[in-house]
Amino acid sequence: MEIYHCLDGQPPILHNRLERMPDEGYIWLDFLRAEAQGWESWPKNLLGVEIDHSQVIDSLTPDHSSYFDGTEDYDMLIFEGLGPQDNPFPLQTRSAAFFLFDRLLITVRAEDNLSFQMVKQKLKGMKAKAPPSALCLAHQVLDTMVDRFLRVREFLDLRLTELQDELLNADSGMSDWHALLDARRVVRRLEGLSADQLEALDSWRRGTALDWDESRVQLRMRDLREHVSRVRDHSHYLEHDLEAAVQLHFAMVSHRTNEIMKVFTVLAVVFMPLTLLTGVWGMNFKHMPELDWDYGYYYALGVIVMVGVSMFWWFRRSKFF
C-alpha cells in the first residue's frame, strides 16, 4: 500500500503511515489487490464509514467488469482497463476499484496495472502538481486507462489491415482463418469492454454522491466519456470492415469458381458435336458409304476440327470466356 497526501498546487507527498485525516488536501490510498486484505478498515478508521461487504468482494475480484455502485457516503467505480501490454493479441485486461470520498480516494488494483504506474511516474518524476481533488485524481487515472485503449487501435488497425489484404489476395488462399477469428474476437471484446465502461460512467454521473457542479469536473468527465465512445465506435467500424472483407472474399471465390465453371461449360459444349460425329462414324454397320472413301478418314478429321474450331471461335467472339 502507498499513501499519498495531495495538496492543491503542490506535488503529492508520500507517507509511510497515516493515523488520521489531515486538515488540508486529500489522501490517496493505493492498494495492490494481492496485499489488500482488510483494506476496508481504513475508511472506517479515518472517516467512520463502513464499506459494504459485497463491494469489498468485488474490489478483490481481478476480472470484474466495469460497473458503478454508489452510496450516500461514497462512490464505488470498478473500471476494466488493459493489462501489462498494449498489444491486443491476446487482449489482457485488469480491473481496478475506485472508492471516492470527499477527501479520500482508495484504489484496489493489480500489481501490473501500468496506468497507475504511469500516473505515479508523472506525479513523482516530473514533480507535477497534484490534481485539486480526489475526484480529479480518479479522473486522471481513468483517463490514462482509456488512453491506453486508444493506442491499442494502432495495433488493431495494422493487424486487421494485414489480414484483410491477405483475405483479398487471390493467390494467398487465406489458410490462417484462426488468426482472422481471433482478431474478430478481440474487436468484439474491445467493443463490449467499451460498452461496459460507458454504462459505468453514465451510472456514475447519475448516481454520484460527490459534487460534480464544477465546470472543469464536468468537462473532464465528458472528455473521458468521449474517449471511451471513440474506442467503442472504432471497434464497431473495425468489425464492420472485417465482416465486409470476409463477404468480399467469398464473393471473389464465388466469382473465380463461376469463371472456371464457365470455361468447363464452353469446352463441354464444344466437344458435344464432336462426340456426336465420332459416335456416328464409330458405329459398326456393314454398309457405311464413308468406309469406301479413299480420303474419308481425313474428311472426317477435317469436319471434326472445323466444327470444333468454329464453335470455339464463336464462344470466344461472344465473350463467354
- pLDDT tens string 161-170: 887 777 777 5
3-state secondary structure 183-220: HHHHHHHHHHHHHHHHHHHHHHHHHCCCCCCCHHHHHH
- pLDDT above 60 (res 173): no
Tell me: do 81 and 9 sit in the same domain: yes
Last residue of one domain, picked from the residues 204, 237, 252: 252
Predicted TM-score (pTM) of the model is 0.78
CA–CA separation, 285 vs 291, rounded Å? 10
Tell me: do 221 and 198 sit in the same domain: yes
- pLDDT above 60 (res 260): yes
Domain count, the chain: 2
CATH number at residue 196: 3.30.460.20
CA–CA separation, 31 vs 289, rounded Å? 106
Q: Residue 21: its pLDDT value, please?
A: 92
Q: Residue 184: its pLDDT value, please?
A: 84
Q: Helix 134-168 crosses helix 114-125 at what angle (to 10 degrees)?
A: 130
Last residue of one domain, picked from the residues 219, 252, 285: 252
- Mean pLDDT (the chain, rounded): 86
CATH number at residue 278: 1.20.58
State the residue range of the domain holding 274: 257-317
Per-residue pLDDT band at 89 (split at 50, 70, 90): confident
Tell me: do 219 and 128 sit in the same domain: yes
Which residue bears the cell 507517507?
15
From the list 102, 123, 107, the residue with the least C-alpha distance to 31 is 107
Cβ atoms of 71 and 209 within 8 Å: the answer is yes
Last residue of one domain, picked from the residues 252, 280, 298: 252
